[in-house]
Structures are given as C-alpha cells and as structure tokens.
Amino acid sequence: MEERKECKPSQKRHNQVTFKPYVQNQAWLFPPTLGDLIPADHICRLVSNAIDGMDLEPILNTYNGGGSSNYHPRMMLKALVYGYVDKKYSSRAIETATKENICYMWLCGMQQPDHNTLNRFRNSQLRQTVKDVFTQILAMLVEQGYVRLSEYYVDGTKMESVAGRYTFVWAKNVERYKGALLDKIACIIEQIEAANEQAEVEAAKKEAQVPRPAVSDSEALKETIEELNKKLKEQLGKNKKMAGELDKLMWEHLPKLMDYEQQERLLDGRSSYSKTDPDATFMRTKDDHLGSGQLKPCYNIMAGTENQFILNYTVHQTPSDMAAFIGHMDDTLGMLEKAALPKPKRAGGDAGFGSEENYEYLEEKDIEAYLKYPGYYQEQTQKRKDDAFHSSNLYYNKEDDYYLCPMGQHMTLRSTVTEKTSTGYEHQVHYYQAQRCEGCPLRGMCHSAKTDRRLKVNHCSSAYRQEAKNRLDSLRGIRMRSQRGVDIEPVFGHIKQCRHFRRFLLTGLDGVATETGLLAVAHNLKKWWVKQCKHGGIVPLWPADEAKCVQIEAKSGQIPRFFEKIRA
C-alpha cells in the first residue's frame, strides 16, 4: 500500500496568488469631499440640481416661525425626493440612509434628521405644496424639450390604502340598520304615548288632533325626548316601564342613530368606506392572473402622460374612471394655466372614458377627443356588422324621426325622458317602439320581450360617438391608439412592479395626494436621468413624431409600414 504524500508549501497553488494591500482604518492625508466619491452621472446629482433650481416660496410660507431652528426645506425636500427615487418610502428607512448612504449624506450636507422630523415635513409642509414641486419639475422638462404638451394620455389605476382590509362599512347596511332603528324608535314612542291616559283623553276630545311627525334624524329624536319628558314628568315616577323605555331612547337608541348619521356623512354618496381610513373606498383590484381580486380599501389614481412622463395626477374616491375624468382634467388645465404652460391639443384614453359628458367637456375646452367608447372594438367585428337586428344597424330616418326594422316596420318615437348620471349630468333619452311585432316571423331573432320591441336611443351621445369613431379611425387616431398603450400603461407598471410601491403609507385624501405627488416627481426625475444617460441629453424623435405625421398625411394617402402594421 502506497503512502500518502503531503504537498510541500512551495507546491501549494495559493502561494502563487498575489493580493492588493488591505489596510482597514487607514487615514487619508488629503481626504476627499463627499461629492468626489459620487459618480459624475449619478441620479442624485440630477435630484440636487433640479431642487436647487426650484422656487421654494410656497414651502417657506407654510412655516409659522418662532421656536427652535428648523432644518432647511431644500435639504428636507432632497432627502424625501431622493428617498422615493431610491425606493425608500418609509421615513425610518430614509433616516437610516442619511447615516449610512453616501448619496444621502451628500444631499443632506451630513445632517441627519430623524424619522419624526422627516414625516412631519412630509405631512405638514409638503401636504400643501407637493403639487407646486411637481409643476416646477414639469416646467423644467418642458424647457429641456422632453415634454411638448401636445398630447395627453389619461388612465386610472387602483392603489391600496394602508387601512385594514376587513374594516369595511357598507352604505346599504347603514341604510338598512338605520331604517330598522327608526322603526323601533317609532314603536317605542307609540307605546309611551299609548300608556299616557291623559293623552288618550285629550285625543278623544280633540277629533282633529295633529299627529306627531315621524322621527327621521337624531335632532328630531332629541326634541321628541325632551317633549315627552316635559309632558309625562308626573307619570314617569309612577310608571317605571314608561320611564325605562324613555331612558332606552335617550341612552341607547339616540347614540346609535347619531353613529349611523356620522357614517352617512363619511360615506357622502359612496358605496363604502374603511373604519381605519374613512377616505378610502373599497374597490376591486386585479391581484391574480384572472383579474378577479377581492375588494380592498383603495384610491383611484388618475394620471396623464406624454412620452411616459407624468403630466399630472389626481386622487379620487370613485372607482369609475369615466366619472373622475372631468375632475382630473379641470385640475390639469388649472395647473398648466397657473404655470403658464400650454394646454394639450389632444387627449387619448381607453374605453373607460368615452361618454357624452366627457366628449362635450373636451369640445368646450377645444381639445380633440381620442377617447374610445364602450363597444368600440365590438362594432368592428364581422359578427356585429352582419347582425341586422342590432340597434346600431337599424336604418334611421332623421327627417321623420323613426327607425326601420328588418321587416320594414316603422319604430316611432313614444317618449323623451331626461336622465341624470351619477355625476349629475343631464341627457335626453328617446324611446322608440314598434307597433305590430306579434306574428312576425323574425321575432325570435329580433328580440325576446313579450311586448313590441322598444329602443332606447341617445342621439347626442350617438353623434359624439360617431365623431370619435371618425377620429379614432383616422391616421392620427391609429397612431394615438397604439401610442396610448405604450405611454400610460408602462408608467403604472413601473411604479407598481419596478418601484415596488403597491400600498400607501399615509391615510386620508391629503396624505395619499402627497405620496402620489412624490411618486410622480420621482418617476419624472428617474425618466429624465435615463434619457440623459442613454441619449446624452438629446431627445430622440418618436417613430410617429407629430411633424412626421403631418408629412405622411400630406402624401397621396400612402400609409407607411409602421402604420400598416398597427392597422393590421
């Protein structure tokens, strides 16, 4: 058996490897500044330069003065904005970074505000002025040429609140419970009055006695209790049951009724709210791959973009994008006018925005509407075009105001009704009805109602839809439809997936608006920095640049391959 040979030290491989000298805690003869240790093209330099070029007068006006000295708002703003750029949304995480991260140390000038100070600045000073900070960043982007404000792509997304997921209060339940309580109160009042013998005698003498009005709110119940106490003061000591029922009204039912009224005030027309964040509304979110997520306390974040830069943002309590569109556009136009920036020429959106009210609004504001309406893509299918019984395919005689069914029967106007939407917008609805559907051989394919067929038509909405369809089918409309999907959708995807922001940290509409503003500022700065790094500060032309579109449309109708691919 052979003996195992040991390797000599000279034969070991690691003796041939050389290492650089490593000396921990080595002192520098000429120590560099913090700025020298940060790369020249680092994003924190862009954040610093952008905030240094801002007018902080709106933030300075929020300080009351007096007391001990405060941290400078420019330093606090840099720390918070860079925190959102660096995906640090918690004030505690930013506090830790100011002690450990060299970029935060440079931005803060080696100052280390604690998390309470950072959170107080975010909740107090920025709560009122974050929109001004966002507007100044937007003005810089316009000046640099990254944003032209010619097109405005709008969309909404649901963002979860920090509230508890099972702290819901539903409007239907409040209405039902309040109604049951009012019925119970009415029964108790009747029992108390029936037990009053003197009241029965007086009621018999006075035939035309005015009945007591029904209790409808807490104020009326308080007045009723005071009246019964004065009226039955002598009998309450003798009749313990009557006194107990009156005490029950005062100490049990009255506080419950006041709670229900407070809940109705918090609901303010909404379907629900959260107990831990009353401004949040329960909305359905798309959590799983099937898009059938559960109801969660959320806010509807509306945003408008151009070239994937956020032009404006608003926070809404309604889950409907269609109902929130006008409020969002009013805020956008007001912000641009205040900043002396031009308003957009065209607005593009998906089928969640195309309504008569929104089309009329854009027409009044002199903005071309490229909003798809519900059923836009269904109208282009061959199945819909071949369906002779569909209301959109029926012949309409405008002069005599009637529709013609496939059997040649006239469907005449029966009534005109004024209806209101959830936002209070009034529109005219016309009802047309056939006269002799009984015995028609095509009735089974036409409709399934037992009576003659009836049509509900909104002529004004149909006209707006036809005008929108003509725009959407044009060359510019094809480009805007294709651009919308790659303009606004990636912004929400970047915020939720890449930046890992899926849930707000602050409560209430003001707190959520503050966080949304910081997210929008961080997104625009990040986009600005990426374009500077990739293109050296030069904005590349889009494949569908506006000037190029004008040249293409001026040609002899020939569509380039780019648009042929989109149209296909």
DSSP codes joined into one string, 280-331 = -EEEE---STTS-PPEEEEEEEEEEEETTEEEEEEEES-S-HHHHHHHHHHH
Domain ranges of the chain: 34-123, 169-274, 283-375+470-554, 382-458
**Residue 50's closest CA among 128, 138, 131?**
138
CA–CA distance, 147 with 339 (Å, rounded to integer): 14
CB burial of 204-232 (b: ≥16 within 10 Å; e: otherwise) equals eeeeeeeeeeebeebeebbebbeebeeeb
Q: For residue 196, what pLDDT is reported? A: 64
Q: Is the pLDDT reported for residue 553 higher than 70?
A: no
Q: For residue 235, what pLDDT is reported? A: 62
CA–CA distance, 280 with 272 (Å, rounded to integer): 8
Q: For residue 248, what pLDDT is reported? A: 86
Task: At 293, list the tokens.
Answer: 């997520």
Q: Which of 4-13, 68-77, 148-157 has the lowest mean pLDDT?
A: 4-13
Q: For residue 110, what pLDDT is reported? A: 94
Q: What is each CA distance from 481 to 76, 378, 560, in whole angstroms?
A: 41, 16, 16
CA–CA distance, 477 with 232 (Å, rounded to integer): 76
Q: Which of 15-24, 297-306, 324-333, 513-522 has the lowest mean pLDDT?
A: 15-24
Angle ∠(539,544,550) on CA atoms, nearest 5: 110
In the chain the first and final C-alpha atoms are separated, in Å, by: 80
Percent of the chain having pLDDT more than 90?
Answer: 57
Who has greater pLDDT, 566 or 1?
1
Q: For residue 504, what pLDDT is reported? A: 95
Sign, CA dihedral 464-469-475-480, equals positive
Q: For residue 556, what pLDDT is reported? A: 36
Query: For 214-219, which contacts have Cβ atoms below 8 Å and span 24 or more sequence positions?
Result: 214/182, 214/186, 215/182, 215/185, 215/186, 215/189, 216/182, 217/257, 217/261, 218/254, 218/257, 218/258, 218/261
Q: For residue 443, what pLDDT is reported? A: 82
- Give me the mean pLDDT over the 402-406 stretch: 89
Alpha helix ranges (H) inside 10-110: 43-52, 57-60, 73-85, 91-100, 102-108
Q: Is the pLDDT reported for residue 293 higher than 60?
A: yes
CA–CA distance, 242 with 228 (Å, rounded to integer): 10
Who has greater pLDDT, 457 or 238?
457
Could you tell me if 548 and 541 are in contact, meaning their C-beta atoms sit under 8 angstroms apart?
Answer: yes
**Residue 146's closest CA among 534, 428, 427?**
534
Alpha helix ranges (H) inside 473-542: 475-485, 489-493, 508-535
CA–CA distance, 537 with 228 (Å, rounded to integer): 80
Q: Which of 32-36, 301-305, 470-474 has the lowest mean pLDDT?
A: 32-36
Task: At 78, list the tokens.
Answer: 């840099």
Give me the phi and psi of 457, to 5 degrees please: -130, 135
Sign, CA dihedral 439-444-447-449, equals positive
Backbone conformation region of residue 209, classed left if phi is above 0, alpha if psi is from -120 to 50, else beta: beta
Sign, CA dihedral 273-277-280-285, equals negative
- Give me the mean pLDDT over the 112-138 stretch: 95
Q: Is the pLDDT reported for residue 205 higher than 60?
A: no
CA–CA distance, 443 with 530 (Å, rounded to integer): 62
Which residue shows structure tokens 């003197």? 198
Who has greater pLDDT, 2 or 152?
152
Q: What is each CA distance from 554 to 48, 75, 307, 487, 563, in whole angstroms?
A: 45, 52, 24, 26, 15
Q: For residue 53, what pLDDT is reported? A: 92
Of the pLDDT bands very low, low, confident and very high (cuts 50, 70, 90), residue 487 is: very high
**Residue 63's closest CA among 55, 52, 71?**
71
Q: What is the pTM of this model?
A: 0.85
Who has greater pLDDT, 542 or 77?
77
Task: At 299, list the tokens.
Answer: 């806010």
Q: For residue 545, what pLDDT is reported? A: 44
Who has greater pLDDT, 555 or 159?
159
Q: Is the pLDDT reported for residue 422 higher than 90?
A: no
Of the pLDDT bands very low, low, confident and very high (cuts 50, 70, 90), residue 249 is: confident
Helix, coil or strand: residue 343:
coil
Angle between helices 218-231 and 240-248 (to 10 degrees): 160
Q: Is the pLDDT reported for residue 549 higher than 50?
A: no
CA–CA distance, 170 with 131 (Å, rounded to integer): 32
Kindly state the helix (H) or strand (E) to which residue 199 belongs, with its residue range: helix 197-205
Instruction: Give residue-wise pLDDT tens across range 327-360.
Output: 999 999 999 999 999 999 999 999 989 999 999 9
Q: Which residues pair with 397 in a beta bridge?
A: 402
Instruction: Give residue-wise pLDDT tens across range 215-229.
Output: 778 888 888 888 877
Q: Is the pLDDT reported for residue 179 higher than 80?
A: yes
Q: Which residues pair with 9 in a beta bridge?
A: none
CATH architecture designation of domain 283-375+470-554:
2-Layer Sandwich (3.30)
Task: At 172, list the tokens.
Answer: 């239907």
Could you tell me if 55 and 140 are in contact, meaning their C-beta atoms sit under 8 angstroms apart?
Answer: no
User: Any idea of the CA torsion for 487, 492, 496, 502, to the nearest 10 degrees?
Assistant: 180
Q: Is the pLDDT reported for residue 159 higher than 80?
A: yes
Q: Is the pLDDT reported for residue 314 higher than 70?
A: yes
Could you tell me if 504 and 512 are in contact, meaning their C-beta atoms sit under 8 angstroms apart?
Answer: yes
Q: What is the mean pLDDT of the chain?
A: 85
Q: For residue 406, what pLDDT is reported? A: 85
Longest alpha-carbon distance in the chain: 132
